[in-house]
A and B are shown apart, each in its own frame.
Chain A
Amino acid sequence: MNRNPDDGEPLLAVDHLSMRFGGLVAVNDVSFAARDRQITAIIGPNGAGKTTVFNCLTGFYAPSVGRLTVSHSGQRWWLERMEAHRIAGAARVARTFQNVRLFGGMSVLENLIVAQHIKLMRASGFTLAGLLGLPVYRRAERAAVELARYWLDRVGLVDVADWQAGNLPYGAQRRLEIARAMCSEPRLLCLDEPAAGLNPRESADLSQLLTFIRDHHRIGVLLIEHDMSVVMAISDHLVVLDYGRKISEGPPAVVRHDPAVIRAYLGEDEDESESEDRADG
């Protein structure tokens, strides 16, 4: 919490995060902060350690060193100590995956309902009230469907709501994954390369969607992205990683002129937007 001059505590503070895999240091002493109602982008060449940061944040990896603090609603969570499902459920951190992970055999709408599991589970009296068909549960389910409809509308998938998710075209699957994350009503949304594999028009729509989410929902967005047109257009704050280290940080206009960044990243292959699909779970 050292670097940002903005007022108050940041939504997410990453302090001295390191992640080692045997001899490989995938993330090396990285610190940064992400604020509410802002889009914070993490960029860097392939293998820089971006996805690893996400996996540490969301509890899929236990960081070797570091403190990950999420603060909102007057409470504070130390993510490095929490189980993955509690990070999503209690600290309200949602994420998408670099290689889309939908519930392919279920319908689009069901994907969004599953995202509201915790809320609905409670409403169904941990299944008992649901089995009896009590009205409490039916009301909760209707509300859940309404929330799902809202997000389907936002990502333009209302018409295909009853389709099997696995049969959607790729771009639609990516949007559905974002809608699913939003249906879990997160305070911090982590998106891992949401524009990968999208055509320029879809990318532009995505930018619009993300700015809408930032401006109209009380949420902070953490964005990993290779597509510089998206990153430069919508992010408020940029963190640049290279070989696991943070090499630069700041507003996009500043970072893009940072010689270290140009050397390490932008200079190399600026318009490479497709990255290898790497296992990231």
Chain B
Amino acid sequence: MNPTTAVTATSRVQTLDWSAALKDAGLAGLVALLLTLPLVGLRTIEVQSRLTVEPHLAEVALTALLVFLGRLGLTLAAAGLARPVLAAATLALAAGWVLPFPTEALRVLMVIGALVVALRALWALHRRHDRLSQQERDRRMDHLGARFQDATRLIGPAAVMLAVALPFLPFADRATLDLGILLLTYIMLGWGLNIVVGLAGLLDLGYVAFYAVGAYSYALLAQTFGFSFWLCLPLAGLLASFAGVMLGFPVLRLRGDYFAIVTLGFGEIVRIILLNWANFTGGPNGIAGIPRPSFFGIADFTAAPEPGRLAFHQLFGLQYTPLHRIIFLYYLILALALLVNLFTLRIRRLPLGRAWEALREDDIACTALGINRTTIKLAAFAIAAMFGGIAGSFFATRQGFISPESFSFIESAIILAIVVLGGMGSQIGVVIATLLVIGLPEVFRDLAQYRMLTFGAGMVLIMLWRPRGLLAHREPTLLLHPRQSAFRRQAEAGGRP
């Protein structure tokens, strides 16, 4: 919330300053009025091939009124009148659905506004008894994070087992498996990007470029030379990591925002090259008919294999179903994702991984200890790019069709959101964030238009509530006193010695 609400919140209940609240809300309404008047209130239309201005004053007035009420609701909710405000907001929410509005936009404004006020009121009710400072809340979440980290010792293997068993569970139909494949692809990408962003602390906004390089590598190698998927997979990884090094050399000298901007540019450059180099990449039409992977080169997933080839169902004496290939793809991406995870878990305990984290913490101190920043960063970049490329070639073989559209900036942003929301550097955080960011919108596909809106709102909420990500707790990679784990006890003691 904004400062004024926060101030009112701390000195709440006893003296509810009605005049101040009304003045505040009036101000908000006035601002809304001034903003909407030129933007919404006056619209130019063509009447008999002449431009005239058509006033929409009712809409402006309604907007200002809604903003006034919403602002008042927020203030009152914070000031101890949570119950009545909640009731009113719920009523307004319902009214928003049924009332006739001059435009649809107003309805959305009313519904969302009422929703926000209702949530705020709920929040106030919920926290009536313990009003925590931001710091205290952070501490509790850290504590929770530590607990959770402990639990991951169990949750991790349990989740893996669930993932392995999924195709054989009764509810696992084609749609579930497809969703599983989608989620695992993003989890793999998230884990890959986590190496650069979470461990090495380099804000990479162009990760999708390596995903694209991997996908196109596979598609082109397979179509031009007829290489098999199993040969192309490592090759695509190598090519992507080569692209990573190529980008890395000039860029890694830059810091912070500059670095982020250049990687963003790189991502776009790759997409634009793919779009324009039509006779090589197929341009906007993309590449179709990308070969499907075989069962390790032994058998194909078809109903009727070509002469001299074996089909998967024949190999195992099964009834043919197209599901076999989906299940195979599912296990493939699961294995690839777990490989990335295993790699990361392992490398965090090696000098290279520790140097990445040290670099994230303080790169100047790193240099003073003899660590060559450039090679260390380059290694992070190349390795993350390799995993991105492998994920990309998986994407290509699963879709059978790729085009530059699949590799737009929004993909980079989504992967980055997954890493940041999960809590930088947290492996399990990436999984949870993927479930939230990719899983939820897929489940609520019906809300089609508002999908991205809720996505954005969710991001803002999480960042307000937990700026360092959902699971930002970090366990040391080696302990001097293994049994006590003083680190955790200290986190629980609030970081005070």
Contact = CB atoms under 8 A, between A and B. Distances in A.
Interface string B453-485: 000000000000000000000101111110011
Contact of B367 (A84, A103, A109, A152): A84
Given A104-B361, A130-B350, A113 B370 contact: no
A106 interface: yes
A149 B479 CA distance: 11
B354 interface: yes
Contacts, number: 147
A141 B480 CA distance: 12
Given A118-B370, A127-B350, A160 B358 contact: no
Contacts of B354: 106, 110, 113-114, 117
A89 B371 CA distance: 8
B369 A281 contact: no
B371 to A, nearest CB: 5
A84 B352 contact: no
Contact of B477 (A110, A127, A172): A110
Contacts of A117: 351, 354-355, 358, 369-371
A127 B352 contact: yes
Interface in A194-218: none
A99 to B, nearest CB: 11
B361 A162 contact: no
A85 B371 contact: yes
Nearest to A103: B361
Contacts of B350: 124, 127, 130-131, 137
A248 interface: no
Contacts of B379: 127
B108 to A, nearest CB: 42
B486 A162 contact: yes
A162 B476 contact: yes
A16 interface: no
Given A85-B370, A109-B478, A110-B476, A103 B365 contact: yes
Interface in B366-390: 366-373, 379
A107 B487 contact: yes
A173 B375 CA distance: 28
Interface string A94-124: 1101000111111101100111011011001
A184 interface: yes
| Residue among B361, B369, B479, B484 facing the most chain A CB atoms (10 A cut-off) | B369
Contact of B368 (A94, A110, A131, A167): A94
B358 A114 contact: yes
Most B-side CB within 10 Å, residue of A124, A148, A161, A172 = A161
Which range holds the interface residue count of chain B? Answer: 35 or more
Interface centre among B480, B481, B495 (most CB of A within 10 A): B480
A168 interface: yes
Contacts of B485: 162
A94 B495 contact: no
Nearest to A167: B495
Contact of B476 (A106, A141, A145): A106
A97 B497 contact: no
Given A109-B476, A127-B350, A131-B347, A160 B497 contact: yes
Interface in A146-183: 148-149, 152, 158-164, 167-169, 172, 180-181
Given A109-B478, A117-B370, A160-B486, A102 B495 contact: no
B346 interface: yes
B347 A127 contact: yes
A58 interface: yes
Contacts of A181: 368-369
B372 A85 contact: yes
Contacts of B481: 161-162
13 contacts: A58-B368, A88-B367, A101-B362, A101-B365, A103-B358, A117-B351, A131-B347, A159-B486, A162-B476, A162-B485, A164-B491, A180-B369, A181-B368
Interface of A: 58-60, 83-86, 88-89, 94-95, 97, 101-107, 109-110, 113-115, 117-118, 120-121, 124, 126-127, 130-131, 137, 141, 145, 148-149, 152, 158-164, 167-169, 172, 180-181, 184, 281
6 residue pairs, one from A and one from B, having the closest CB atoms: A89-B370, A88-B370, A107-B476, A161-B480, A103-B361, A120-B351
Given A88-B368, A105-B474, A110-B357, 18 more contacts: A84-B367, A85-B373, A94-B368, A94-B369, A102-B362, A105-B360, A106-B361, A109-B479, A110-B476, A114-B371, A117-B351, A121-B355, A137-B350, A141-B478, A149-B480, A160-B497, A162-B486, A164-B490
